Amino acid sequence: MSEGHKLNRSQRLVHMTRILVERPGEAIPLSYFMERFDAAKSTISEDLALIKETLEAEGSGLVRTQAGAIGGVQYWPFPSSNEVQETLAELCRLLRDPGRILPGGFVYMTDIITHPMWSARIGSMLAARFHAAQPDAILTVETKGIPLALMVARALGVPMVVARREGRVTEGPSFSIHYISGSTRRINTMTVGSRALQRESRVLIVDDFMKAGATARAMVDLVTELGATVAGVGIFVTTAEPQKKQVEEYTTLLTLLDVDEEERVVKIQPAQ
Amino acid sequence: MSEGHKLNRSQRLVHMTRILVERPGEAIPLSYFMERFDAAKSTISEDLALIKETLEAEGSGLVRTQAGAIGGVQYWPFPSSNEVQETLAELCRLLRDPGRILPGGFVYMTDIITHPMWSARIGSMLAARFHAAQPDAILTVETKGIPLALMVARALGVPMVVARREGRVTEGPSFSIHYISGSTRRINTMTVGSRALQRESRVLIVDDFMKAGATARAMVDLVTELGATVAGVGIFVTTAEPQKKQVEEYTTLLTLLDVDEEERVVKIQPAQ
């Protein structure tokens, strides 16, 4: 857009809302809007107050404005509790489809995780739960955790780090840990590029599915070994059994109670 | 938000812009806005016309409104040509940092690909190039292609499909092809769940990096074998050499001309 192009109020509201929603978590200085719309600080502040009031009144995300010389504004696309309830109910309906049952009692959910509409909604829900913990990086392990972790990272405006099953030259020097997989009892490796994860950072661990929690535990150990702090563990679907997981604290959106391959029934519900 | 809650024009503009920007590519019926804002069709149409005019005047995305009984509106977050130029120049600046040079002449770019701010911007640029080809699914191969492919899928409002290096029980029945990697000359496998890719679909292939193009070629073959159509091949960074790639047609955002490990120089530029 041409700089300094004068817009009326309606036009400014449309542009400012678009910019905030497209750049979640980013602190945008008021001066950016002032220059871009050739408008006084008081005008921009009024517009932002209206945007904040409008969005927050309906529970459509969170807007934070900071006053002062370096005043700025941040938007987070957190859903209202109504939206969360509706989305989780809809996800349960989809996942209960008996056609999703795979041999071994697995439930096919790749189509949901990899659809950007769903991953964005799931990511926003997880992001909302951990916003207060102030994570500054999201860690997941390849492959299925990536779409959800990226959308959590997007909603919070922080980078994502992907642990790999083996080191790659394109990741540079790396740090690895070994762990015993809960289901196969085999020794697995998890490796993360040394450049990717900063010491001192607060890391939110995200994955699509958890059973015994061996993978999540390995990520917790990886973060701790690297001198960073675990800001939380957020999982999309967690099995009810075993009750005792290898991570002590975690948040899950859905609980998978049972998959009956004979009766073709999937029992799943929003986590309590 | 409570249904039927009356809002004034400014408030409607803020909400409608947020909804459009958060749901790119999705066709949202006018009736959705009418019910949600307790407003007449003419009011909603006027609001949408203003939003469309405002965003398109500045090249901030594309808005399509369809008239008629099932009239609706779609938004795509395509950047203006100015924004594209600026973003590509900024990416080249970042990638020219000699600290990114890895043994073997590789360039570290994982931090960019996995940062949601960058992957969203790269994804929108690729999406804009292929919008006219009307893809209805995005295909990539694990692992590094996933963040970009997801963001292309998001910008177009279509699902993403991830080919795996080996079959997994959680993907259900799968289809595999074998191919010779361009660099290692080893036989590789690429496998995709049969549920994931529909026959008759138009598939856009997305990857982060291409050298000889063996991986892209394998994805083209996979799509063709499954009876689907290739809508295009979109790559973030492609090496200038070899000039002859294994895919005939592709679009790349950046061209990597040379990595001089001795002199510590990365030569990269926006593709012509």
Q: CB of A1 within 8 A of CB of B60?
A: yes
Interface membership of A173 toward B (CB under 8 Å): no
Q: Which helix (H) or strand (E) holds B104?
A: none
Interface membership of A64 toward B (CB under 8 Å): no
**What is the value of pTM for the model shown?**
0.96
Q: Does domain B81-270 have CATH number 3.40.50.2020?
A: yes
CA–CA distance, A185 with A188 (Å, rounded to integer): 9
Given a cut of 90, whether residue B167 has pLDDT beyond it is: no
Residues 6+ positions from B223 with CB-CB distance below 8 Å: B139, B197, B203, B205, B229, B230
Ranges of H-type helices in A185-239? 214-225
Interface membership of A23 toward B (CB under 8 Å): yes
Do the chains contact at A80 and B110, CB–CB below 8 Å?
Answer: no
Strand stretches in A72-133, DSSP E: 72-76, 101-102, 106-107
Tell me the average pLDDT across B32-53: 95
pLDDT tens digits for A149-181? 999 999 999 999 999 988 788 888 899 999 998
Tell me the average pLDDT across A140-152: 97
- pLDDT at B69 (0 to 100): 63
**Which amino acid is it at B212?**
A
- pLDDT at A4 (0 to 100): 52
Q: Which comes out higher in pLDDT, residue A6 or A224?
A: A224
Residues of chain A with Cβ-Cβ distance to B122 below 8 Å are none
Burial category of B111 from C-beta neighbours within 10 Å (exposed 0-12, middle 13-18, buried 19 and up): middle
Residues of chain B with Cβ-Cβ distance to A109 below 8 Å are 170
ipTM surpassing 0.90: yes
Tell me the average pLDDT across B182-202: 87
Given a cut of 70, whether residue B2 has pLDDT beyond it is: no
Do the chains contact at B14 and A51, CB–CB below 8 Å?
Answer: yes
A14, A53, A156: best to mutate for the B interface, most B CBs within 10 A: A14
pLDDT tens digits for A188-246? 999 999 889 888 899 999 999 999 999 999 999 999 999 999 999 999 999 999 999 99
Average pLDDT, chain B: 93
- pLDDT at A5 (0 to 100): 64
- pLDDT at B4 (0 to 100): 52
Given a cut of 50, whether residue B1 has pLDDT beyond it is: no
| Chain B residue whose CA is closest to A164 | B143
In this complex, which of B23, B26, B146 lies closest to A146 when CB atoms are compared? B146
b/e code B143-165 from CB counts within 10 Å (16+ = b): bbbbbbbbbbbbbbbbbbbbbbe
Do the chains contact at B146 and A143, CB–CB below 8 Å?
Answer: yes
| Chain A residue whose CA is closest to B173 | A102
A9-76: CATH, from 3.40.50.720, 3.10.310.30, 1.10.10.10, 1.10.287.110 = 1.10.10.10
Residues of chain A with Cβ-Cβ distance to B207 below 8 Å are none
Domain boundaries along the sequence of chain B: 9-76, 81-270
Residues of chain A with Cβ-Cβ distance to B120 below 8 Å are 22, 154
| Chain B residue whose CA is closest to A101 | B172
Interface membership of A58 toward B (CB under 8 Å): yes
pLDDT tens digits for B107-140? 999 999 999 999 999 999 999 999 999 999 999 9
| Chain A residue whose CA is closest to B116 | A154
| Chain B residue whose CA is closest to A110 | B171
CB pairs under 8 A between A and B: 187
Tell me the average pLDDT across A35-62: 94
| Chain A residue whose CA is closest to B111 | A196
Tell me the average pLDDT across B234-253: 97
**What share of chain A has pLDDT > 70, as a percent?**
97
Q: CB of A120 within 8 A of CB of A151?
A: yes
| Structural tokens at position A108 | 């096919």
Residues of chain B with Cβ-Cβ distance to A147 below 8 Å are 146, 150, 160
In this complex, which of B110, B159, B170 lies closest to A193 when CB atoms are compared? B110
CA nearest to A25, candidates A147, A193, A162, A138: A138
Least confident of A162-166, B14-18, B266-270: A162-166
Tell me the average pLDDT across B32-40: 94
Do the chains contact at A170 and B9, CB–CB below 8 Å?
Answer: no
Interface membership of B143 toward A (CB under 8 Å): yes
Do the chains contact at A171 and B110, CB–CB below 8 Å?
Answer: yes
Label each residue of B46-103 as H, E or C.
HHHHHHHHHHHHCCCCEEEEECCCCCEEEEECCCCHHHHHHHHHHHHHHHCCHHHEEC
